[in-house]
Structure 1
Amino acid sequence: MYVIIVGCGNIGASLAKIMQEEHNVVIIDKKSENFSKLGRGFNGISIEGNGLDLEVLKEAGIEKADAVIATTGHDNTNIALAQISKKIFNVPKAIARISDPEKAEVYRMLGVDLISSTSLIAALIRDKIIEKRFSTYILENSKLTT
């Protein structure tokens, strides 16, 4: 797969390192210093720029992308990027990380696939507290269930 990740914070960098093992990865971030989180072994492409800039997205190869994942710290940016990816560039899979789960339903109505890091972390902490040893998480319709 050809994957574009926008946002090289902790989540974006971790995802890029995992995905590069079996996929072609491009990561975009406004701040070049954030690419240091990728480490020396990163074999993907790093692009400094605004992930909402159509020229930056074209430079990243969005026309051939199989997936775009928006992992910035800004819900609205991530939602906009997912919509641009799907509606303008017809990317088959566009996923937006959101931190405010209360907005999730509105975003789902816009046709955006979401991952709520807040809900996911809360579920993991809950399971750790009640010491569930074997938890299976199912992500369906952007809702995490066990």
Structure 2
Amino acid sequence: MRVVIAGAGAVGRSIAAELMENGHEVLLIDKSPHAVSVVRVPRAEWLLADACEISTLDEAALERCQVVIAASGDDKVNLVVSLLAKTEYGVPRVVARVNNPKNEWLFNDAWGVDVAVSTPRLMSALVEEAVSVGDLVRLLRFSQGEANLVELTLPEGAALVGTRVGEVDWPRDTALVTIIRGAAVMVPAPDVTLAAGDELLFVATAAQEPRLGALLSARDGDRDGD
């Protein structure tokens, strides 16, 4: 897979190194000579240029990329790169870094963003996920379809403990993606029985999150069955 990363700071370089470890082809773009440090990621391609310029993206051959990652420290730059990648080059997957949480609402499909990653939101979500049992925690927002990746650890005494996945009337626009039980990552097959302490990961729309949270955290005998 060919990936172009706009922004060769610490974040961009770290992403590039990880992707190349997994066998992907990576091009890093940055207009700052100080950021273009080939020795730090020697196996990557490098381009000293402004990623907001069409001529730069032409030189980077974005039409041959499967993924563009807008990882600069400037939200305006990340939005422009995302929009150009999607509208001018038809890049299938555009991932953008959100530096200021106040700008997160802009990072959607209107700006060509498929996935917006907000470091402050991720850190707060991971803290909540680590300490919260029985509360729905939003881990990641997907721009397309207003869907989110959400997590809940099933508490003791929850109404769904002992229930098979296929027997649950899940809210619409909700999909159970996986069940983490101890060290095991489980496919949520219909005959899998839910247990207390299971970490459940869902993709769900924001509109369905309240109902999903109520369904999962309801105590035994208190579920309304709606």
Aligning the two structures, in what range does the TM-score lie when normalised by the shorter sequence? Answer: 0.7 to 0.9
Q: Does 1:119 pair with 2:121?
A: yes
How big is each residue's C-alpha offset from its partner over 1:89-141, in whole Å with a ceiling of 9 and x where there is no partner?
A: 1010111111223332333251522111221122234456x399xxx985452
Q: Which moved more, 1:53-62 or 1:64-73?
A: 53-62
Q: Give the TM-score, by structure 1 length.
A: 0.82
- Aligned-residue RMSD, C-alpha: 2.6
How many residues align structurally?
Answer: 141
Q: 2:3 is matched with which residue?
A: 3
How big is each residue's C-alpha offset from its partner over 1:25-72, in whole Å with a ceiling of 9 and x where there is no partner?
A: 000011232233862x53110111111111111111212011110011
Q: Given that residues 139 and 149 in structure 2 are in contact (C-alpha distance below 8 angstroms), is that contact kept between their aligned partners in structure 1?
A: yes
Q: Given that residues 5 and 27 in structure 1 are in contact (C-alpha distance below 8 angstroms), is that contact kept between their aligned partners in structure 2?
A: yes
Q: 1:53 is matched with which residue?
A: 53
Q: 1:32 is matched with which residue?
A: 33
Q: Give the TM-score, by structure 2 length.
A: 0.55
Kindly provide the amino acid, as one letter, of the partner of residue 73 in structure 2.
G
Matches within 5 A, 1:1-146: 1-21=1-21, 22-36=23-37, 39=40, 42-108=42-108, 110=110, 111-113=112-114, 114-127=116-129, 130=131, 139-142=140-143, 143-146=148-151
Unaligned runs of 5+ in 2: 152-226
Q: Partners in 2 of 1:44 and 1:112 — Cα distance? A: 24
Matched residue SS, 1:32: coil
Q: Which moved more, 1:26-35 or 1:60-69?
A: 26-35
Unaligned runs of 5+ in 1: none
Structure 1 position 76, deviation (Å): 1.4
Matched residue SS, 1:20: helix
Matched residue SS, 2:89: coil
Kindly provide the amino acid, as one letter, of the partner of residue 17 in structure 1.
A
Q: Given that residues 122 and 139 in structure 2 are in contact (C-alpha distance below 8 angstroms), is that contact kept between their aligned partners in structure 1?
A: no
Q: Partners in 2 of 1:90 and 1:37 — Cα distance? A: 28
- After superposition, the Cα gap between the structure-2 partners of 1:80 and 1:23, relative to the gap in structure 1 and judged at 3 Å, is same
Q: Partners in 2 of 1:19 and 1:137 — Cα distance? A: 25
Q: Partners in 2 of 1:102 and 1:58 — Cα distance? A: 31
